[in-house]
């Protein structure tokens, strides 16, 4: 794509975005004023590896409970982790609290990429998105939707992830000095609604005349993805210990998988590799079924063992009312295990 064509991308896309922008609870409509950096940042953190449909109810609950970054900064981390339950990638929630407290201490969000990058948990993408959308800075914002649109627009052939350097350079070449936030959101919307992973609705695309991928006849093949490696499988056991209408819950270590979350006790998942780890109390155990759950780097098959006895486990934990188990903020994996155990009654 020559310089003349590159210069046409931003005007065409911005005109399309002004007319076709998605209505999202965290977004200010084109021409609607300045975006709240707290809402932009919160939404971008939630949207990492998560769909807009899944994020919307969480965003509504978070902003109702903690309407400002100062209120979030003052919240107990355990409350935030419980509210986050089900969104996955729980290190994001811990970083969310840490970043909110840093912002509160600073007296507000930094308004540059460099300043935003200094906050806990803010990587290059999130810092660029907040700088562009909330503060009007020229920043190159590349998420998975933008990555796909740009790869097709420039017909970048190198497979991912190696292509990301070229994709970012191409995105930089078309990002305008003004309205960079609207431009970034326009590319995101284009990738989410028109130039999707499974389809390229080129006749509806404002950039169709400029798209090298379309000119070559098969834009959907881009971006080229490297072959996926099979994910390893792990096995383990979760333990349901119930007494007097309460279940024994533990808090997982702050670092590691599902760190800082309430959970059922378990055997470490891979301690023996066969789901037969010893339970936290000695006594009669009954099988409660099997939960299957996929994590980013492995698949897990978790057997549920149900205790029939009256002993109290050693170590730290708490008795949680069974009728309020939905309020415990269990991660999805353990919520599935609890549902299996309860289904036995």
* Residue of 44, 77, 105, 114 marked catalytic: 44
Told to judge if 77 belongs to the known catalytic residues of this protein, a careful annotator would answer no
Residue 312, phi then psi, degrees to nearest 5: -105, 130
What residues form DSSP beta bridges with 302?
Answer: 236, 291
Q: How many CA atoms lie within 13 A of 6 on its CB side?
A: 13
Residue found under tokens 């057997």:
303
For residues 38 and 55, give the distance between their C-alpha atoms in angstroms, rounded to a whole number. 15
C-alpha 295/C-alpha 257 separation (Å) is 10
CA distance linking residue 236 with residue 233, whole number of Å: 10
Phi, psi for residue 127 in degrees, rounded to 5: -60, -45
Q: Do the bridges between strand 262-263 and strand 284-294 make them parallel or antiparallel, or are there none, so unpaired?
A: unpaired
CA–CA dist 26, 15 (Å, integer): 21
CB 240 within 8 A of CB 339: no
**150, 140 contact by CB (below 8 A):** no
Buried residues in 22-47 as b, exposed as e (16+ CB within 10 A): eebebbbebeeeebbbbbbbbbbbbb
How far is residue 175's CA from residue 138's CA, in Å, rounded to a whole number?
A: 8
Residue 123's contacts (CB-CB under 8 Å, 6 or more residues apart) are 117
Residue numbers annotated as active site: 44
């Amino acid at each position: 794509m020559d310089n003349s064509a590159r210069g046409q991308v931003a005007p065409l896309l911005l005109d399309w975005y002004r007319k076709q922008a998605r209505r999202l609870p965290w977004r200010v409509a084109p021409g609607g004023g300045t975006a709240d950096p707290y809402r932009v940042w919160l939404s971008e953190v939630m949207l990492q590896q998560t769909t807009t449909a899944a994020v919307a109810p969480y965003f509504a609950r978070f902003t109702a409970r903690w309407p400002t970054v100062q209120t979030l900064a003052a919240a107990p981390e355990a409350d935030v982790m419980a509210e986050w339950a089900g969104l996955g990638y729980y290190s994001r929630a811990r970083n969310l609290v840490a970043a909110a407290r840093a912002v509160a201490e600073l007296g507000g969000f930094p308004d540059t990429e460099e300043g935003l990058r200094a906050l806990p948990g803010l990587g290059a993408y999130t810092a660029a998105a907040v700088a562009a959308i909330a503060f009007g800075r020229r920043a190159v914002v590349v998420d998975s939707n933008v990555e796909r649109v740009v790869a097709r627009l420039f017909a970048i052939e190198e497979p991912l992830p190696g292509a990301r350097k070229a994709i970012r350079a191409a995105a930089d070449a078309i990002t305008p000095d003004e309205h960079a936030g609207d431009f970034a959101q326009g590319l995101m919307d284009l990738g989410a609604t028109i130039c999707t992973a499974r389809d390229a609705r080129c006749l509806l695309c404002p950039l169709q005349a400029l798209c090298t991928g379309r000119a070559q006849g098969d834009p959907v093949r881009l971006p080229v993805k490297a072959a996926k490696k099979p994910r390893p499988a792990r096995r383990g056991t979760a333990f349901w210990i119930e007494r007097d209408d309460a279940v024994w819950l533990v808090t997982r270590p702050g670092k590691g998988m599902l760190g800082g979350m309430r959970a059922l006790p378990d055997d470490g998942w891979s301690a023996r590799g066969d789901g037969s780890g010893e339970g936290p109390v000695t006594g009669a155990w009954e099988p409660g079924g099997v939960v299957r759950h996929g994590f980013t780097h492995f698949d897990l098959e978790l057997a549920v063992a149900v205790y029939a006895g009256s002993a109290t486990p050693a170590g730290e934990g708490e008795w949680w009312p069974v009728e309020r188990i939905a309020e415990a903020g269990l991660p999805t994996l353990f919520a599935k295990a609890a549902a299996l155990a309860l289904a036995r009654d």
